[in-house]
Amino acid sequence: MTTLAARLAPVLPDRLVAAAARLVYPRFEPELARLDELCPPQCRTAVDVGGWYGPWTRRLSRRAEHVVTVEPVPRLARLLTSTAPANVRVVQAAASDRPGTARLWLPPGDDGGRGVSSLVRRDIHARALDVRCVTLDGLGLTDVDFVKIDVDGNELAVLRGASGLLARDRPALFVELESRIQPIAPVVDLLTGLGYAGWVLPAGTWHPLRPAALEAHQARTSHVASHGLLRRVLPFAGPRYVNSVLFLPDGRRPGEPAGRRGPASGAVRDHGPHALREAPRP
């Protein structure tokens, strides 16, 4: 997938590319613009697994007391370290289920800018870097209230490496899940067993996750995933490709503070187990 942004990024200063990515990303991933509904108020520690150019890291740094960003691509980790606010700690490593080293796969000619590097190799990958692996449990984190995970297929290993943290702190989780890369059922089943329930934001309203409906939506709109970032943020860009799920523990709902039980936020619709709503078919 060669895009205009991918072609321009190597000839532009990294800081300019990062600033542009941070500017347009809330249109690409609208959940980021509604961070107050994902990340609890007075968030103590937030974790950004797969930092890329830092759109989530920068927004989280304004909301959380501490942010820990895990990024395996050396160039991107160095960029994040040099530009991140003072309350951000950058860990140059890949998050997984055990410490050590592993091969990080990238497309040909890509140095990480496309944001599709992964420990799980697929057909777009052609070369690899040896990178350090860490577990979230092994990073010595405390008081974790929010974790974002974007690792292109390695989600299950990241979550298994955070089992202690999930049991202890019960953070909100924002996880990218793409059935074209890996089945989503194992992640959903793992988190359901830990007392988490999923929510998706297909338009302006949160809906409880139905895995089969999300997979069907992704199959219908898979062509959108091949479009570049710039094309997908333009007005009238076409249907949105939903590939991220907010998982909340213990009966919490989007926009509801941790530990609170009561009426749902006005942004939540809960009249049926709808993951994505479709117009009635004739």
- pLDDT band of residue 256 (cuts 50, 70, 90) is confident
pTM for the full model? 0.83
Helix (H, G, I), strand (E, B) or coil at 188: helix
Residue 135 has pLDDT above 70, yes or no: yes
* pLDDT of the residue at 29: 77
What number is the average pLDDT over the span 42-65? 94
Residue of 167 and 109 predicted with greater confidence:
167
Q: Among the listed ranges 13-27, 172-186, 203-217, 231-245, which one has the minimum average pLDDT value?
A: 13-27
Residue listed under structure tokens 């990340």: 39
Q: Work out the mean pLDDT of the chain and round it to a whole number.
A: 83
**Domain-by-domain residue ranges, the chain?**
4-249
Strands 94-95 and 88-91: unpaired
Query: Which superfamily is assigned to 4-249 in CATH?
Result: Vaccinia Virus protein VP39 (3.40.50.150)
Residue of 186 and 10 predicted with greater confidence:
186
- pLDDT band of residue 6 (cuts 50, 70, 90) is low
* pLDDT of the residue at 18: 63
Residue of 258 and 194 predicted with greater confidence:
194
* pLDDT of the residue at 270: 47
Give the span between the Cα atoms of 213 and 188, in whole angstroms. Answer: 13
Beta carbons of 159 and 185 less than 8 angstroms apart: no
E-strand spans in the chain? 43-49, 64-70, 88-91, 94-95, 100-106, 127-134, 144-149, 172-176, 196-200, 207-208, 244-249
Selection from 202, 200, 177 nearest residue 190 by Cα: 177
